[in-house]
Each structure stands twice: as structure tokens, then as C-alpha cells.
């Protein structure tokens, strides 16, 4: 759908100006085609139940049509990057858990990659396989929950979300038995992993993965062809391919717009180049395509997991050169990035040879992907805004940092 934005232009018959909540030109209060007397400014949040955290959207409406939208965040700012410059390299690992708290293990991996580049470390074979397995399990539970939350944002009953959380619980049980924590796992280490797989863990993981396609089949049969879902998502919140590229959008949101870019293929890290999997692409870049990207990517994650669990070798899980005490990477800089469930997650570090990085910077996908929210919402009804935001898949711990 290509919305007609002609009604956004200032016209005659103005009755004053709208008070400005942000910079830029003010809007004229005028009679709209619906005869409601002018434009209306509303604030959704910061405690709105569908903003996925402490997040606000300042929205200007003509009737129920969006003519301007500004994301407002910062309510959850926790000084993550400055803390990283004041603590040891290893001391920052648990803080990465708190970025995207749905995906602590992939957060750990991106940070570990950056430090390993600085220090010249490399994880052994077994640790590389464990990293892939835990990362793809993380992708499964993240995407499943996104589907459930998105349907709840549309006003569905709790059934899709409860189906998703049922599967998520199985994966969190695996994380708990491996790391001791369900969400804040603090598991990766520079040069490997904190501990090896406990006895029976791999068999339990194989069972969870083998049963996951049945859940996907149920989920898709329940939702994919649902008349309400299609009417609320198809042609809604279209993100054009060129805009997605120019705005540095990554992850499923980018691929839903037809851009074939996945870091696991474009710049393989770890051992991803050993696995056979496809990169799903959308045709329209709308909410429906963004929903389907998650469903299709879960099926590809299952393929990766099956291959990794079948080929995982024995052996050590830590690089023998890795040190915990007195860890001081040589002076230099490094950027480590991964294809996280929400897009490119990167850490940029500068070392001056001391125990702490002198510069610590996070490239969070949730924050970058939010920059096109207004473009996707213009011309749509206010009820669509919540659905469009839900299809981006943000976590405010990562947005604000």
C-alpha cells in the first residue's frame, strides 16, 4: 500500500498552530476531510502496554491518520558504555546480558568476538559449536516470542503468546541447566565458554529441536492465513528497499524488504560457513513479511542446530592462551559483530594496553531499526502504529543502554 500523504501539506483555512513537542515546522490546525476540526497531538507512552518497554511515541494525527511520529526514548538509560570503560574486560560480560535481555547469549558472543580480535584469541572447535547451538536456540525463542507479542498487539487473545512462551520455556530450561541462569546467562568467555555441556544436555537439546517444527506447523496453521492477521498486516508499514539500506537497517526487518544480507553469510563468524541454510527474503517489506521472516528463519535455525549437534566434537572449550587474571589486550582497536536475532549487534573497543578498554561502544540493532518507524507509520491509522512497532521487535534495554 502506498499511502497518499497529500493531507500532510499545510493548506488554507488554518485556525492556528499546533504546539510543538519537538523541533521542526509546526502544523496548522485546520478542518480535516473528516471534519474533526484540526490535527491532534497525542503521546503514546512511556508506560503504554504495547510499547514493549519504557518508550514513548509522540504522534500527530489528522483524524486517525498519522502525519508525524517521533520516537522518544532514554527512560531506561543505564550508562552501559561508560561503565564498560571503567571496569575490566571480563567484568563487562555480565552487563552485555542486560542489553537485549531476551538474547543474552548472542550479546555475550558479539562482545567476546570483539575482545578476541583485540587479544588474538580463538575459541576451540567444541566451544565454536556450543556458541552456534546456543545462539540459534536464542534465535528460536526470540522469534517465537515476537510472533506471540505481535498477535497480542493486534488484539488477539493470549493463545498465540502462550504457545510461544510454552516453547520458550523449554529453551530457557536448557539455558538454565547449562549456565545456571534462565535469562542473564553470562556464559561466553574470551577464547571459549565458561563451562562444558553437562551430561545429558545435548540429548535434551536434540529433543527440544526435534519437537520445534511441530510447534511451527501449529503456529502457522493457526495464523498465516488468518483473515484478521492478513488485513492488519498486508500492505501496512511498508519499508522500501532503498530506505532500509540507506538507514542501515539490519536483520529480519531488512530482509523483509528484499535485501539479501545476513552476516552469517556475508561475513561468516565462528563456524557458520560450515552449515547449509538459506536466507529468507520478503517481497513487500510490510508487517506481514516481517512476521513471515521470523517464521522462516526459525525453520532455518532448526537446520543449523541439527547440523551442529550432529557434528559437535569433543575437546577443550577454552583457548589455552586465554587468561582471566592480568588480562590486558595490546593497544589497538577492534569491532566484533554478529547476526543477532534482531539484526547486527556489534561492539567497538579501543585498548590502550590497560585492564579496561579506553573506548567501549555498542551498535544495537533495536536502536538503529527504530529510526525508520515514522516512515513506516505515515498515512496509517493510529491503531496500526502499535502493530508496526511490534513488527520491528525492539527491547528497550538495548535501545537506551
**Of all residues in the chain, what percent carry a pLDDT higher than 70?**
90
Which is it for strands 39-44 and 332-340: parallel, antiparallel or unpaired?
Answer: unpaired
Give the residue-averaged pLDDT of 28-33.
41
| Residue 232 three-state SS | helix
Q: Which of 270, 298, 316, 277 has the alpha carbon at shortest distance from 131?
A: 270
Q: What is the pLDDT of residue 51?
A: 65
Confidence of residue 321 (pLDDT cuts 50, 70, 90): confident
Are residues 321 and 191 in contact, defined by beta-carbon separation less than 8 angstroms? yes
* Distance of alpha carbon 127 from alpha carbon 317, whole angstroms: 5
Question: What does the pLDDT look like over 103-119, one tens digit per residue?
Answer: 999 999 999 999 999 98
User: Does pLDDT of 90 surpass 50?
Assistant: yes
Question: What does the pLDDT look like over 48-60, one tens digit per residue?
Answer: 666 677 888 888 9
Are residues 392 and 373 in contact, defined by beta-carbon separation less than 8 angstroms? yes
Quote the mean pLDDT of the chain.
Answer: 85
Residue bearing cell 578498554: 357
Q: What is the pLDDT of residue 132?
A: 96
Least confident stretch, 102-116, 169-183, 319-333, 377-391: 319-333
Q: C-alpha cell of 132?
A: 552456534
Beta strands in 341-386 (DSSP E): 343-351, 359-363
Q: How far is CA 117 from CA 89, 130, 188, 333, 363, in A?
A: 13, 19, 15, 9, 17
Amino acid at each position: 500500500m502506498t499511502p497518499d500523504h497529500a493531507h500532510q501539506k499545510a493548506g488554507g483555512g488554518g485556525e492556528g498552530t499546533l504546539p510543538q513537542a519537538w523541533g521542526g515546522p509546526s502544523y496548522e490546525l485546520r478542518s480535516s476531510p473528516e471534519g474533526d476540526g484540526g490535527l491532534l497531538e497525542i503521546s503514546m507512552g512511556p508506560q503504554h502496554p504495547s510499547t514493549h518497554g519504557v518508550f514513548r511515541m509522540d504522534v500527530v494525527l489528522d483524524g486517525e491518520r498519522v502525519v508525524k511520529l517521533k520516537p522518544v526514548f532514554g527512560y531506561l538509560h543505564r550508562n552501559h558504555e561508560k561503565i564498560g570503560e571503567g571496569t575490566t574486560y571480563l567484568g563487562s560480560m555480565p552487563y552485555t546480558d542486560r542489553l537485549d535481555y531476551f538474547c543474552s547469549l548472542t550479546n555475550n558472543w558479539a562482545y567476546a568476538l570483539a575482545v578476541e580480535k583485540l587479544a588474538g584469541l580463538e575459541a576451540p572447535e567444541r566451544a565454536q559449536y556450543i556458541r552456534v547451538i546456543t545462539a540459534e536456540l536464542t534465535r528460536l525463542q526470540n522469534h517465537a516470542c515476537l510472533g506471540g507479542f505481535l498477535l497480542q498487539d493486534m488484539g488477539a487473545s493470549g493463545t498465540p503468546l502462550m504457545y510461544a512462551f510454552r516453547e520458550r520455556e523449554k529453551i530457557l530450561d536448557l539455558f538454565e541447566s547449562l549456565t545456571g541462569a534462565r535469562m542473564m546467562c553470562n556464559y561466553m568467555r574470551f577464547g571459549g565458554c565458561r563451562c562444558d555441556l553437562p551430561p545429558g544436555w545435548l540429548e535434551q537439546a536434540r529433543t527440544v529441536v526435534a519437537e520445534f517444527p511441530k510447534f511451527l506447523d501449529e503456529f502457522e496453521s493457526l495464523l498465516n492465513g488468518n483473515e484478521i492477521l492478513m488485513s492488519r498486516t498486508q500492505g501496512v508499514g511498508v519499508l522500501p528497499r532503498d530506505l532500509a539500506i540507506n538507514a542501515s537497517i539490519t536483520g529480519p526487518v531488512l530482509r523483509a524488504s528484499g535485501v539479501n544480507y545476513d552476516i552469517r553469510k556475508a561475513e561468516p563468524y565462528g563456524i557458520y560457513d560450515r552449515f547449509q541454510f538459506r536466507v529468507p527474503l520478503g517481497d513487500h517489506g510490510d508487517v506481514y513479511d516481517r512476521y513471515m521472516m521470523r517464521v522462516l528463519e526459525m525453520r532455518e535455525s532448526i537446520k543449523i542446530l541439527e547440523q551442529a549437534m550432529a557434528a559437535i566434537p569433543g575437546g577443550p572449550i577454552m583457548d589455552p592462551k586465554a587468561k582471566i587474571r592480568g588480562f590486558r589486550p595490546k593497544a589497538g582497536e577492534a569491532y566484533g559483530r554478529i547476526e543477532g536475532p534482531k539484526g547486527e549487534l556489534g561492539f567497538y573497543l579501543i585498548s590502550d594496553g590497560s585492564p579496561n578498554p579506553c573506548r567501549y561502544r555498542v551498535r544495537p540493532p533495536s536502536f538503529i531499526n527504530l529510526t525508520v518507524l515514522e516512515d513506516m507509520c505515515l498515512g496509517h491509522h493510529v491503531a496500526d502504529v502499535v502493530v508496526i512497532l511490534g513488527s520491528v521487535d525492539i527491547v528497550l534495554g538495548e535501545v537506551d543502554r
